[in-house]
Structures are given as structure tokens and as C-alpha cells.
Amino acid sequence: MPPAHVSAEDYVFGPASEIWQVNRYATGLLFGPAAVLLQVAHPRVAQGVAEHSDFRGDALGRLKRTLTTVNSIAFGTHEAAEHMRRRMTAVHQRVQGDTADGVPGQRRYSAFEPDLLMWVLATLIDASFKGYEFVWGSLTLKRREQFFRDFRQFGTYFGLDEKEGPQNHGEFVDYFDSMLASDLLGSHPLCAEVAASVVRPLAPMRDRLLGSLVDFLPIETISPALRDRLQLRSTPWTSVRMTLLRRLAPLAFRVLPKRLTYYPEAYTAEQALKR
């Protein structure tokens, strides 16, 4: 909750930033499940999730916590963002261990590996772009570039130095495409195991019901090649629901009030600036 009296300068980014303009609408939810699948398709991320979270009993909880973390920084004050940085650091310090047989890379894994942080950040950027454009139409290259720069600053709160990885939007596109085309994603059985719990949670019952309603989102929004590696299958039923969403989502976001189409953190921040 922001202070009673705030100005744009009190926020890390503020209402004029592209991260605020693009991410305020909950369009990222449309590709958020795909982002989670892309993350756990990396074997080292998959092992971290498998060993340091209840991915079988609380699969959707990870997505919710990720969204809360992202939005608390993107639409938060400097004080709130620093609080979230400290909280994430404490959580990530526990995510480390010896890699399982067949997991590529160094023998020890850690949540602070720059390559892993960059990949997680990249999936969030991709989900933001795709979700926004799914509803509102194409972003200009200039806006994409500024959004990328905002998100690199955002990534520092996760512990990723801005000098690591792609330095501009063009390099980001090349990096992301090369990751999708590589043999790395989905290359270990753990990836498919964790992915299955994201698409169709086994527990609790609430998540099982929600999963059965929205399982088409992650299935239909990742590439066919990766879908095969993660042992997921597109069906006429998942396809028709995706087609229906393509028709209804743009209309819904245009006619429903902001309270329903904004993320709660974005709505709260915007209302605070109007006081």
C-alpha cells in the first residue's frame, strides 16, 4: 500500500514509463503461464523449482507469487521495491544444490546464476509484449526498446546486473530466439514433470478446477517444438478455446472498468497519484 500522499517521483518507474504503460493491464496473465513453462523448460530452473518449492501441491502459487513480486516493483514506491528486493534475496539464497544427473552446466546450481536470472527476466519481457499486443495491437520499436530498458532496471531487483546479457531490444530478440531454437529447453525429464504440474495441477481442488479451465493457455502459447519436448499436446478443445479468447479478450479489456482489467497493484498506485 503506497503512502497517503505520493508523487510520480516516489515510484521506481512511474506512470510515464513503458513498464507502467504496458504492464498495468492484466494482459500479461494471458501469456504468464507460457512464461512459467519457458522458465521451467530450462533444466537448471526446473531442478530449483522441484527441490525448493511444492510444485505438485502449489503449482499455480508460484505464478501468483511471481506476479505479486513483479507488480510490487513495477508499480511500487522505492521503499516497497527495496523491501521486495530483500525478501527475494532471502528466498533465493536457499535455492541451491547439486545438479541432478543429466542437468547441464556446473555441478552446483544456484538461483543467482546470471544465465538463469537472464532467462527468467526474458520470459517475463516476452509475456509482457505478447500479452499487450494480443489485446491492444503492435508496440512500436521505440516503445519496445524503452520497455526493455525499463525491465533491465527492474531486473536489478532480482540480482541481475544490467551489464549481463542482451543490452538492447535487438540483442534481446536474438537471444530469445536462440534460446528457443537451442536443444537446452526441455532437455531433461524434470522439465516435463514440473511443466505438467503447471498446466494441470494435482492439488488443491481449487487449482485443479482452474487448471482444467485455462490449461489451453500454456499449451497454445508455446511453440509446437517445445510443447512436444514438455510432453504436452494441443487438441481441438484447447485450440477452439484459444480462438475464442483471441476474439473476446480485446473486447473485454476495452469495455470493462480499470478495476477489473488492471493488476491490483497498478490500480492502487494510479489511484494514489490522483489523491
Q: What is the pLDDT of residue 3?
A: 58
Q: What is the pLDDT of residue 131?
A: 96
* pLDDT for 36 beyond 80: yes
Q: What is the pLDDT of residue 202?
A: 76
- φ, ψ for residue 205, nearest 5 deg: -60, -40
| Paired residues of 97 in beta bridges | 109
Q: What pTM did the predictor assign?
A: 0.93
Instruction: Band the pLDDT of 72: cuts 50, 70, 90.
Output: very high
Q: What is the pLDDT of residue 59?
A: 64
Cell of 192: 516435463
The pLDDT tens digits for 245-259 are: 999 999 999 999 999
Compare 65 and 228 and report the one with higher pLDDT: 228
Q: Rounded distance, CA 235 to CA 35, Å? A: 21
Cis preceding-peptide flag for 204 (omega within 30 of 0):
yes
Q: What is the pLDDT of residue 2?
A: 57
The pLDDT tens digits for 111-159 are: 999 999 999 999 999 999 999 999 999 999 999 999 999 999 999 999 9
Which has the closest alpha carbon to 66: 42, 92, 98, 47? 92
DSSP character string of 205-249: HHHHHHHHHHTHHHHHTS-HHHHHHTT----HHHHHHHHHHHHHH
Mean pLDDT of the chain: 92
Provide CB contacts within 8 A for 11, sequence distance 6+.
Answer: 75, 76, 77, 78, 269
Q: What is the pLDDT of residue 208?
A: 79
CA angle 44, 229, 104 (to 5 degrees): 25
Q: What is the pLDDT of residue 275?
A: 77
> For the purposes of burial, counting CB atoms within 10 Å of the CB of 164, is it exposed (0-12), middle (13-18) or buried (19 or more)?
middle
Q: What is the pLDDT of residue 65?
A: 79
Q: What is the pLDDT of residue 250?
A: 97
Q: What is the pLDDT of residue 60?
A: 67
Amino acid identity of residue 107, one-letter, is R
Cell of 249: 479478450
Q: What is the pLDDT of residue 43?
A: 97
Annotated domain spans of the chain? 8-274
* pLDDT for 186 beyond 80: yes
Compare 4 and 103 and report the one with higher pLDDT: 103
